[in-house]
Chains A and B, each alone.
Chain A
Amino acid sequence: MITIQELNEIKQKTLENMKLRLQEDSGKGLHGKHVLICGGPGCHSSNAEGIKKAFKEKIKEKGLDKEIKVSLAGCFGLCETGPNVEIYPDGIFYAHIKIEDIDEIVENHLCKGKIVERLLYEGSLKDGKIKQVSEVDFYNKQKKIALRNCGIIDYESIDEYIALDGYQALAKVVMEMTQQEVIDIVKASNLRGRGGAGFPTGRKWETAYEYKANKKYVICNADEGDPGAFMDRSILEGDPHSVLEAMAIAGYAIGSDQGYIYVRAEYPIAVRRLQIAIAQAKEKGLLGKNIFGTDFSFDIELRLGAGAFVCGEGTALMESIEGRRGMPRTKIYRTAHRGLWQKPTIINNVETFANVPAIIQNGVEWFKNIGTEDSPGTKVFALGGKIKNTGLIEVPMGVTLREIIFDIGGGIPNGKKFKAVQTGGPSGGCIPEEHLDTPVDFGSLGRLGSIMGSGGMIVLDEDDCMVDIARFFLDFTVEESCGKCVPCREGTKRMLEILERITKGEGTPEDIDRLESLAETITNGSLCGLGQTAANPVTSTLKYFRDEYEAHVYEKRCPAGSCQSLLEFFITEDCIGCTKCARNCPVSCISGKVKERHVIDTEKCIKCGTCMEVCPTGAVIKK
């Protein structure tokens, strides 16, 4: 069993080794260098391990292995530019690093102190000046709470977590505070659930605390089923102890001695790192019996989810842990009263938990000074779609969509025009240009007909057809509906059929009315959040882009030029009459003499696109 003194000893000792990375100059000057390689989901799959090995070998070869440390850390966030490498204490960010580049970095930068400009992340070069990581646009508008340790600490080292104040909050809670005091802090902070609904965490805890029972449970929801979302995964992989510590704090607050982390089986790395972290915490007595010598005991076990999106819904998740089919329960009782195995249970999202130790450590005022009144703190978003810097960011609530997309995200690539941003995952809504200056928080997104959801953000540009986007998201929901309740099971399918018809140019004016009516039924009638939000992509696009629906229905035209069946192939004046298209057309619908402009018979054309591919002068266009 660990004491607070021992915890502090580990902290001091380990901090000494982390100085380079933290750029903490204690006056004596920093000696040596530290190469930090991003081990986040994106970089991991593009050979981060191999890069680490190559760095180590090369550094050893140069005899510098005493002075230069090499380690992997959690996600840096800039997945677009991976594999990413940072060199400390210089704060230099290298992007798109290949094994072949390593020699040059070691020889020039590490040996001679000469920065390899060629390999720098492009955003860190401005007006010929090299900027430090912390100053580049991508990072300087961000504020890290949930991701505070990701990308800094070695995710397999409990000592490094402890060095950065890890487990201090738990120590303080179990040794100095009453249950009610802990709950009061969480309540006062107005921390809202980051798993989607934004429910006040403190209130949830209080409800469970006040309900007397012989057994209570704490569940961490790490199911993260939104396609394209990986914020929870990054926290679990980059800083697993922050979640364990928070769960123990929650356990203390509500009077529970057992926690479960429900994590997707498709996250094997997260699972492994959690297993390691749990074992480390148990070994040090930070989990298990009599934590810090008090009579508080708390254990955590993992439960693997089979991957159905709906299993992320709190009650379906509990059904799944209990060994039944993952279908949401009808809410007769609150889960804080009767949840897992009918016992009082609190369930929180990974990111929600990751905030808790920071709040206990730094206090309510500190937290409330970040973000908005409606939603204090920060939110992690996964940027995707038509945006330059795809990746993971954490920003204070209240920054505008424009700042996120254009300042941090770098705007739209290829000079295209921004059209809309889809927030909140598959059941979120599409927000158009005119609302880009909206400060982002739970309330504001809701008022725009979208949701915060788990923090997915997909940027759409002028080439994206909004009807087709709605169809795309609905297709996901139809696949993932559990089939329990009628409006969602039957209704979403019918909506999808209508959207498919419209994108094929077979829509009728009544179809738009039917979409609206179905949306209402599904939203008001469905049992769980999946159905209740399933229509959002449709209602929001109908609200902001109705003209696109009407163009499809009345004019059989896709304004974005994206719906294949509504396009016609056309040969422009640029045609040189090479006959290539006519020879390649599978249905021989192109006619024309050699050296004369060719013509497509659009009646016969099957829109295969072959002519466009083969034309040497780009004379074939879709319109």
Chain B
Amino acid sequence: MANVTFTIDGQKVTVPSDYNIIEAAKTVGIDIPALCYDPNLEVVGACRLCLVEIEGSRKLQTSCSTKVKEGMVVHTESEKVVKLRKEILQLLLDNHPNDCLTCQKAGECLLQRYAYRYDIKFREHDGARRPNLVDTSSPYILKDDSKCILCGKCVRTCNQVLDRKVLSFGGRGFDTRIVADANFSLEESTCVSCNRCVTVCPVGALVDKRLLGKTRVWDGEIKGVKCKACDYGCNFEVLSKKGKNIAVRAKAPSEGRPLCLKGRLTTELMYLDEPETPYKKEDGKFQEATWKEALGLEGVFEKILSDENDKK
């Protein structure tokens, strides 16, 4: 791949020619705000937060979808760009519940981060808001539509796995929502609780329910581990507090790794001090299950336990 050299915020940068501006910026430590971009997913250009000014181009361009070009001169924080960014963030906050105090996502939430960075605040108004639809049907995932910013990452990641394709956009315009199958609850839907969607959601619209109320991200410690349930070796994180392992959560899948519930439960069982009861979905209903039932493969299950015992 040939290299190109271009200028970004006054710095000269050389990167491979298939880089997007946003990736190229990262190589020199420039962090362009982005809510819908994810290097593992198809680029959609939906949030418009990453718009930048390119000299010689009349319109602003989204840096997630624009490839670098030789000699290009890019400004990522020009007055015009910042004004627009602020207004986009304000539009998002105007349609978002003021819930950061107790939101599980606080501290990691991208909306919160950018609002702070650009000094945008929640404000009172009597216009329309997203309906307060919260789907609590799954024991694994809390889906809070009122917090969704419709970046579409969850849809894209769920659709990357052929036999999942659970999530999609429903409705349109201001009433657009993320729906599971034909607007079913997660329990009724074909969702397999792999939590791919949870890992990519930039806000608190999809959160791991088994983490709720257990810790704030800044409170505990986080250790990365690899799943041992199959050869993919998906990435998980073990969260611990005061020396106790209290929760496991999936990390964003990459390089074709699928993520799955069995893997996550296996990891929970392996690492957690007090793993919570597992659930199994049967005929569209979540049922409490024994660990053996939840993990399905009794042989493997026994083997892991004995491996673990060996290590101790």
A residues whose Cβ falls under 8 Å from a Cβ of B: 308, 325, 327, 329-332, 478-487, 489-494, 497, 517-518, 520-521, 524-527
Kindly state the separation between the CA atoms of A619 and B80 in the bound complex, as whole angstroms: 56
What's the nearest-Cβ distance from chain B to residue A328, in Å?
Answer: 9
- A483 near B87 (CB under 8 angstroms)? no
- B174 near A527 (CB under 8 angstroms)? no
- B169 near A521 (CB under 8 angstroms)? no
B residues whose Cβ falls under 8 Å from a Cβ of A: 43-49, 51, 59-60, 62, 65-67, 80, 84, 87-88, 91-92, 94-95, 127-128, 149-150, 152, 168-169, 171-176
What's the nearest-Cβ distance from chain A to residue B182, in Å?
Answer: 14
- A486 near B92 (CB under 8 angstroms)? yes
Using A480-B173, A493-B127 as known contacts, say yes or no to A486 and B168 having CB atoms under 8 A apart.
no
- A485 near B48 (CB under 8 angstroms)? yes
Task: Please name all residues of chain A whose beta carbon is closer than 8 Å to the beta carbon of B66 when the two chains form the complex.
Answer: 332
Kindly state the separation between the CA atoms of A521 and B43 in the bound complex, as whole angstroms: 22
- B45 near A485 (CB under 8 angstroms)? yes
The contact of A489 among B43, B84, B87, B150, by CB within 8 Å, is B150
Kindly state the separation between the CA atoms of A527 and B152 in the bound complex, as whole angstroms: 15
Kindly state the separation between the CA atoms of A358 and B6 in the bound complex, as whole angstroms: 47
Kindly state the separation between the CA atoms of A329 and B43 in the bound complex, as whole angstroms: 9
- B88 near A486 (CB under 8 angstroms)? yes
Could you count the A-B residue pairs with CB atoms below 8 Å apart for me: how many are there? 100
Chain B residue nearest to A332 (CB atoms) is B65
Chain B residue nearest to A500 (CB atoms) is B127
What's the nearest-Cβ distance from chain A to residue B59, in Å?
Answer: 7
Kindly state the separation between the CA atoms of A523 and B227 in the bound complex, as whole angstroms: 47
Task: Please name all residues of chain B whose beta carbon is closer than 8 Å to the beta carbon of A485 when the two chains form the complex.
Answer: 45-48
The contact of A330 among B43, B87, B172, by CB within 8 Å, is B43
Judged by DSSP, the binding face of A is helix
Using A497-B127, A527-B45 as known contacts, say yes or no to A489 and B88 having CB atoms under 8 A apart.
no
What's the nearest-Cβ distance from chain B to residue A591, in Å?
Answer: 36
- B169 near A483 (CB under 8 angstroms)? yes
Task: Please name all residues of chain A whose beta carbon is closer than 8 Å to the beta carbon of B80 when the two chains form the complex.
Answer: 524
Chain B residue nearest to A497 (CB atoms) is B127
Task: Please name all residues of chain A whose beta carbon is closer than 8 Å to the beta carbon of B173 when the two chains form the complex.
Answer: 478-483, 489, 492-493
- A489 near B67 (CB under 8 angstroms)? no
Chain B residue nearest to A480 (CB atoms) is B173
- B67 near A332 (CB under 8 angstroms)? yes
Give 10 pairs: A residue, B residue, CB < 8 Å, sorted on A: A332-B67, A483-B150, A483-B169, A484-B176, A485-B45, A486-B46, A487-B87, A489-B150, A490-B174, A527-B48
Kindly state the separation between the CA atoms of A325 and B43 in the bound complex, as whole angstroms: 16
What's the nearest-Cβ distance from chain A to residue B181, in Å?
Answer: 14
Task: Please name all residues of chain B whose beta carbon is closer than 8 Å to the beta carbon of A329 when the two chains form the complex.
Answer: 44
Task: Please name all residues of chain A whose beta carbon is closer than 8 Å to the beta carbon of B59 when the two chains form the complex.
Answer: 524
Q: Quick one: which of A325, A331, A490, A494 has the most chain B CB within 10 A?
A: A490
Task: Please name all residues of chain B whose beta carbon is closer than 8 Å to the beta carbon of A518 when the two chains form the complex.
Answer: 87
Given A331-B65, A480-B173, A491-B87, output 17 extra A-B contacts at Cβ < 8 Å: A325-B169, A330-B45, A330-B65, A332-B43, A332-B65, A481-B172, A481-B174, A484-B176, A485-B48, A486-B149, A487-B88, A487-B91, A489-B150, A493-B127, A497-B127, A521-B84, A524-B80
- B174 near A521 (CB under 8 angstroms)? no
Chain B residue nearest to A521 (CB atoms) is B87
Task: Please name all residues of chain B whose beta carbon is closer than 8 Å to the beta carbon of A491 when the two chains form the complex.
Answer: 87, 91
- B172 near A524 (CB under 8 angstroms)? no
- A486 near B91 (CB under 8 angstroms)? yes
- A525 near B60 (CB under 8 angstroms)? yes
Kindly state the separation between the CA atoms of A491 and B91 in the bound complex, as whole angstroms: 7
Kindly state the separation between the CA atoms of A486 and B66 in the bound complex, as whole angstroms: 19
- A521 near B65 (CB under 8 angstroms)? no
What's the nearest-Cβ distance from chain A to residue B156, in Å?
Answer: 12
- B67 near A483 (CB under 8 angstroms)? no
- B127 near A489 (CB under 8 angstroms)? no
Kindly state the separation between the CA atoms of A520 and B79 in the bound complex, as whole angstroms: 14
- B174 near A489 (CB under 8 angstroms)? yes
Task: Please name all residues of chain B whose beta carbon is closer than 8 Å to the beta carbon of A521 when the two chains form the complex.
Answer: 84, 87-88, 91
Kindly state the separation between the CA atoms of A494 and B88 in the bound complex, as whole angstroms: 12
Task: Please name all residues of chain B whose beta carbon is closer than 8 Å to the beta carbon of A327 when the two chains form the complex.
Answer: 169
What's the nearest-Cβ distance from chain B to residue A485, in Å?
Answer: 5
- B171 near A483 (CB under 8 angstroms)? yes
Task: Please name all residues of chain A whose beta carbon is closer than 8 Å to the beta carbon of B67 when the two chains form the complex.
Answer: 332
Chain A residue nearest to B152 (CB atoms) is A484
- B88 near A308 (CB under 8 angstroms)? no
What's the nearest-Cβ distance from chain B to residue A505, in Å?
Answer: 16
The contact of B87 among A325, A480, A517, by CB within 8 Å, is A517
- A483 near B176 (CB under 8 angstroms)? yes
Q: Quick one: which of A332, A486, A493, A524 has the most chain B CB within 10 A?
A: A486
- A494 near B94 (CB under 8 angstroms)? yes
Using A330-B43, A484-B46 as known contacts, say yes or no to A494 and B172 having CB atoms under 8 A apart.
no
Kindly state the separation between the CA atoms of A478 and B94 in the bound complex, as whole angstroms: 17
What's the nearest-Cβ distance from chain A to residue B122, in Å?
Answer: 14
What's the nearest-Cβ distance from chain A to residue B183, in Å?
Answer: 14
Closest 7 CB pairs of A and B: A330-B45, A483-B176, A490-B91, A481-B173, A521-B87, A493-B174, A330-B65
- A525 near B169 (CB under 8 angstroms)? no
Kindly state the separation between the CA atoms of A176 and B51 in the bound complex, as whole angstroms: 48
Task: Please name all residues of chain B whose beta carbon is closer than 8 Å to the beta carbon of A331 when the two chains form the complex.
Answer: 65
- B91 near A526 (CB under 8 angstroms)? no
